[in-house]
Amino acid sequence: MTDDSTRLDPAKLYHYTDPSQFGFETTDEVEDLTEVIGQPRAVEAMEFGMAIEEKGYNIYAMGPPGIGKQSLMRQFFEERARDEPAPSDWCYVNNFEDDHKPNAIELPAGLGVELRDDVQELVEQFDTALSAAFESEEYQSRRQSIMEEFRESQQQAFQDLQRRAEEEDVRLIRTPAGLAVAPVRGDEVLSPDEIQELSEEEQGQLQQKVEEMQAELQEILRQVPSWQRDMRERLNELNREMANLAVGGLIDELREKYSDYPEVVDHLDAVQEDVVENAETFLPQGGGQQQGGQQALQQMLQGGQGQAQAQQAMVQEALMRKYKVNVLVDKGDTDHAPVVYEDNPTYQNLIGRIEHMARMGALMTDFHLIKAGALHRANGGYLLLDARKVLTEPYAYEALKRAMDAGMLRIESLGRQLSVISTVSLEPEPIPLDVKVGLYGNRLIYYLLTQFDPDFANLFKVEADFHEEMKRDDKNQKLYAQLIATMVHEAELQPFDSDAVARVIERSARMVGDSEKLSTKGQDIGDLLREANHWAKRNGNDVVTATDVEKAINAQIYRADRLRERMQEAILRDTVLIDTEGEEIGQVNGLSIIPLGDFMFGRPTRITARTRMGKGEVVDIEREVELGGPIHSKGVLILSGFLNGRYVEEKPLSLSASLVFEQSYSQVEGDSASSAELYSLLSSLAEAPIKQSMAVTGSVNQRGQVQAIGGVNQKIEGFFDICEARGLTGDQGVLIPASNVKHLMLRQDVVEAVKKGRFHIYPVETVDQGIEILTGVPAGERDKQGNYPEGTINHIVERRLAELAEKRSSFGEGAEEEQGA
């Protein structure tokens, strides 16, 4: 039974926004919005997360994309960072005790670069100062004196021996490999015959003399290494003394300047010590030293003086490099805490890297090649990261957690960590980490991490949950208008008039499918504004109007609805069978949603039911062929519960029913068609034809109450489009759950058709209401005796089920008798 009382008032089909409430003509008159609207929970969470200084209270902002998670978090960070001091500079310097473990030095902001430059200048002066020291007359003279002293002592010992030898008529003869002591007469060594001519005693004395001299010679030669060692030690001592004097004064100046920073002073002390220890490297080649013949020959073989000098220059360069400073983080150009967004959060971009350079076929590295990562740059401030990106980069998430948990930044070579064979690399001193990390991503990631990663819950204790929609009341509409104006200003678009703003707000409600809500997805609104602006410009408008906004909306839909057009065409061409007139038993027009990315549309689907005697099964054919999802299957199974509960409480349900979505060959999910399925079942049982001019949507529970569904606007419009294409008859309409009325934001052509009585919307709360509208037959209510009135749907169905139960029972007795026979 359909009449005006069952039909929905057209006023409820669309919630208009009155532009006059805004108080402006165009958005040029509107001041920018300074507060965040529509996200009270997220804002409070952010404020809490920012304020609390305990470990582990980092923030995860969750919500769908385009809702402003990143921008809001950045805004919060930047506002707070403005009032916080700039963090320290960090530098790496060589560790002279173990150059694989560079030392870290912390300095006030800006002083790192100053230190680097000061040390650079100092080191550049080393060469000059040391060259001057080692080329000085004093050094040369003292050096020569030491060497001469050694030479003289050697020569003296040797000459003394020679003289004593001569006194004893023996001589030192030079052989290719050494020296020999031999008896002589004049200048000639005695021959064996000449010795034989001597008496035995004389021979013995001669031999003894030779052996004594030989022993003395041995003793002298054995002393030579220790003399040489003594000489070297004295020369080294001299070199150290000169080096200390040369560089000490220069370094003292820097010590004075950086006296407040003990680590810098320690480094300068180590530099001085190293310079002194390696003073010989700065000795001038050739001219400043006495070279023996072997050295000269060696130089000749090695390509001469030039090559030796080049080699010395290389060694000096390597030494100088060790003294310099690598500024890892420089905060000299900022006066507040940093806010860093890393848009490519690889392991190395987060933690830092140790680079290598190829030198003579090998990969070399030193502390100069340590590079900072995002965590270094954000240290003392805030770091913003996309959760999905962090999780999809190998080892990045683990490294991030490790650093946050330890409160220390340790740069480790990933290659070394993964290598089967350990390669020599650096282990820089870890740097203390103090950073607030803001991750943003969807809810699924958050809940998965919370569920499966115990570390996550310890490190990200603050969830900032961004809601997709906000309440649509007068106050919020005005704020929303201000938000739109702000977005127009920021994007430097043409001004929007108040009608255009109102249209955008209405569209926002349609986006969330709720007339009482507005979308908080700023990205979608921003896109609409930009596209409306584009259409306005194309039309030559200086101000964007509602027409431009409408054009933008329609253009967006048109770009996305190719498939809807095809499906509609298939129905209109009767390829897909959908009736919009007449009646059929056990057949109803159900409504479904096809989601395609950001776009979704509704389409009618024929649902049919066949019933017969059986064992109480309601067969969902979609489920049988595994085209039905679990929620869909649940909805069908609930029908059995309804039938059992209403009609056959004290009897067995002797029904076998099959339900199918006709001409549906893809997955079906959701229970929004369960009421339609129930209507077709009841129609089949009662043999009461259902009006094909109607379409139905709504889920049903076991008590026969019709429940809300999603996509109500699209579903209505989907059926409307078919009816309109065939020509509206005035009888057509859609049954929707009453609880979905507040979600209606229908297209204007639908609203107009309803206003004109050409199309109707029927909100229902129970299946009884629905079956009456669909069949035109009263559903019926039980009287005091518990009986349904004769001729009502419920009565017919109940009677039918009872008949089936009796027949089944008699079939069962007959079977037993046959068996007994």
Q: Left, alpha or beta for 304 (phi > 0: left; psi -120 to 50: alpha)?
A: left
Q: Would you say 217 or 638 has its CB closer to other proteins?
A: 217
Q: Does residue 292 bind other proteins (CB under 8 A)?
A: yes
1, 195, 491, 596: which one contacts other proteins (CB under 8 A)?
Answer: 195
Print burial letters for 446-482: b (CB count within 10 Å at least 16), e (below 16): beebeeeeeebeebbbbbbebeebbebeeebbebbbb
Q: Would you say 159 or 575 has its CB closer to other proteins?
A: 159
443: tokens are: 């809810």
Q: Would you say 291 or 392 has its CB closer to other proteins?
A: 291
Q: Does residue 167 bind other proteins (CB under 8 A)?
A: no
Q: Does residue 211 bind other proteins (CB under 8 A)?
A: yes
Q: Which of 413, 592, 654, 672 is catalytic?
A: 672
Among 212-220, 318-326, 481-489, 722-730, the segment contacting other proteins (CB under 8 A)? 212-220
Q: Does residue 144 bind other proteins (CB under 8 A)?
A: no
Q: How far is the CB of 195 from other proteins (least distance, A)?
A: 7
178, 361, 540, 597: which one contacts other proteins (CB under 8 A)?
Answer: 178
3, 53, 54, 187: which one contacts other proteins (CB under 8 A)?
Answer: 187
Print burial letters for 156-172: b (CB count within 10 Å at least 16), e (below 16): ebbeebbeebeebebbb
217, 390, 433, 485: which one contacts other proteins (CB under 8 A)?
Answer: 217
Distances (CA, A) of 573 to 125, 227, 567, 692, 720: 92, 114, 10, 17, 16
Q: Which amino acid is at 259?
A: S
Output the DSSP codes for 113-142: HHHHHHHHHHHHHHHHHHHHHHHSHHHHHH
Q: Would you say 305 or 644 has its CB closer to other proteins?
A: 305
8 A C-beta contact, residue 759 and residue 728: yes
Q: Would you say 158 or 261 has its CB closer to other proteins?
A: 158
Q: Would you say 174 or 559 has its CB closer to other proteins?
A: 174
Q: How far is the CB of 189 from other proteins (least distance, A)?
A: 4
Q: Does residue 176 bind other proteins (CB under 8 A)?
A: yes
Print burial letters for 235-272: b (CB count within 10 Å at least 16), e (below 16): beebbbebbbebbeebbeebeeebeebeebbebbebbb
Q: Does residue 555 bind other proteins (CB under 8 A)?
A: no
Active site residue 475: no
8 A C-beta contact, residue 154 and residue 292: no
Q: How far is the CB of 136 from other proteins (least distance, A)?
A: 17
12, 74, 151, 388: which one contacts other proteins (CB under 8 A)?
Answer: 151
Q: How far is the CB of 176 from other proteins (least distance, A)?
A: 4
Q: Count other C-beta atoms under 10 Å from residue 738's C-beta.
A: 19
4, 20, 53, 222: which one contacts other proteins (CB under 8 A)?
Answer: 222
Q: What is the DSSP secondary structure assignment for residue 384, as one 8-state letter? A: E
8 A C-beta contact, residue 783 and residue 635: no
Q: How far is the CB of 153 from other proteins (least distance, A)?
A: 10
Q: Does residue 320 bind other proteins (CB under 8 A)?
A: no
Q: How far is the CB of 90 from other proteins (least distance, A)?
A: 53
8 A C-beta contact, residue 150 and residue 235: no
Q: Would you say 221 or 570 has its CB closer to other proteins?
A: 221
The helix or strand, by DSSP H or E, that contains position 789, with its residue range, turns out to be none
Q: Would you say 304 or 789 has its CB closer to other proteins?
A: 304
Q: How far is the CB of 291 from other proteins (least distance, A)?
A: 7
3-class secondary-structure state, position 617:
strand
Q: Would you say 21 or 291 has its CB closer to other proteins?
A: 291
Output the DSSP codes for 684-719: HHHT-EEETTEEE--EE-TT-BEE--S-HHHHHHHH
Q: Does residue 291 bind other proteins (CB under 8 A)?
A: yes
Q: Does residue 147 bind other proteins (CB under 8 A)?
A: no
Q: Does residue 285 bind other proteins (CB under 8 A)?
A: no
Handedness of CA 479, 484, 488, 493 (dihedral sign): negative
Among 205-213, 474-482, 574-582, 590-598, the segment contacting other proteins (CB under 8 A)? 205-213
- Which segments within 509-598 are labelled E, that is strand? 517-519, 583-585, 587-596
141, 144, 205, 218: which one contacts other proteins (CB under 8 A)?
Answer: 218
Q: Which amino acid is at 254?
A: L
Q: Does residue 191 bind other proteins (CB under 8 A)?
A: yes
8 A C-beta contact, residue 309 and residue 303: no
User: What are the φ/ψ torsions at residue 90 (nearest 5 degrees)?
Assistant: -130, 135
Q: How far is the CB of 289 from other proteins (least distance, A)?
A: 11
Q: Count other C-beta atoms under 10 Å from residue 619's C-beta.
A: 15
Q: How far is the CB of 212 from other proteins (least distance, A)?
A: 12
Q: How far is the CB of 260 from other proteins (least distance, A)?
A: 51
**Which residues does 112 contact at the CB level (< 8 Å), separation at least 6?**
89, 90, 91, 105, 325, 327, 328, 329, 330, 331, 332
3-class secondary-structure state, position 746:
coil
Active site residue 656: no
Q: How far is the CB of 313 from other proteins (least distance, A)?
A: 21
**Strands laid side by side in the 436-441 sheet:** 339-341, 382-386, 436-441, 59-62, 462-465
Q: Would you say 222 or 573 has its CB closer to other proteins?
A: 222
Q: How far is the CB of 217 from other proteins (least distance, A)?
A: 5
37, 43, 184, 414: which one contacts other proteins (CB under 8 A)?
Answer: 184
Q: Does residue 210 bind other proteins (CB under 8 A)?
A: yes
74, 142, 171, 610: which one contacts other proteins (CB under 8 A)?
Answer: 171
Q: Does residue 196 bind other proteins (CB under 8 A)?
A: no
Q: Which of 517, 521, 691, 715 is catalytic?
A: 715
User: What are the φ/ψ torsions at residue 16 (nearest 5 degrees)?
Assistant: -80, 155
| Size of interface with other proteins, in residues (CB under 8 A) | 37
3-class secondary-structure state, position 505:
helix
Q: Count other C-beta atoms under 10 Å from residue 764's C-beta.
A: 22
Q: Would you say 192 or 454 has its CB closer to other proteins?
A: 192
Q: Would you say 41 or 232 has its CB closer to other proteins?
A: 232
In total, the chain counts a number of residues equal to 821
Which residues contribute to the site for other proteins (CB under 8 A)? 151, 154-155, 158, 171, 173-184, 187-192, 195, 207, 210-211, 214, 217-218, 221-222, 224, 291-293, 296
The residues annotated as belonging to the active site are 672, 715
